[in-house]
Amino acid sequence: MVLEKLEKIKKEGIEEALEELSWCEFEEVVKEVFEANEYKCKLRFRFKEKKIYEIDVLAQKNDEFFCIDCKFWKKGWKKESGLKRACRLQEERAEALKRILETKKLKKVKVYPLIVTLFPEGIKSIGKTFIVPIFSLNTFLNELEYQSIEGV
């Protein structure tokens, strides 16, 4: 079903087709983009540290992890304050995940907080959290090796 909707993107244009996805399908698309870039992924990953956390998509390649929050916000919302709050919460999740992973793996890992949006937000990052629109996600991943990004 998701692939059928992606075919529609080719015919109708990305914005119109993406707006027809549900939030669950949006998370699936994000997962599929990471998997196409050789990441192992888990949807709606839950873990407990001091409290219970949920990550929309957890993507792993070697000792690098992306802690991904998918924001399926429609156009026209006042989102800058919402994005700031979402980035702060995403960094909190990423830091908690890093502590858990390093305890279990007994070695250092890199954890990158990331928010994937439906549409461009005009902001590329807040703090250590990257903000990437879905249609730029593959390019972002392909250019990672040329960027010096800092995780939590």
Nearest to 151 by CA among 50, 64, 69, 71: 64
Q: Residue 124 has what pLDDT?
A: 87
Overall average pLDDT of the 4-8 stretch: 60
Judge residue 87's burial from the number of C-beta atoms within 10 Å of its C-beta, 0-12 exposed, 13-18 middle, 19 or more buried.
buried
Task: Report pTM.
Answer: 0.84
pLDDT in tens, 23-66: 889 999 999 999 999 999 999 999 999 899 999 999 999 999 99
- CA atoms of 106 and 63, how far apart (whole Å): 12
Overall average pLDDT of the 9-17 stretch: 62
- What sign for the dihedral angle of Cα 16, 135, 8, 71? negative
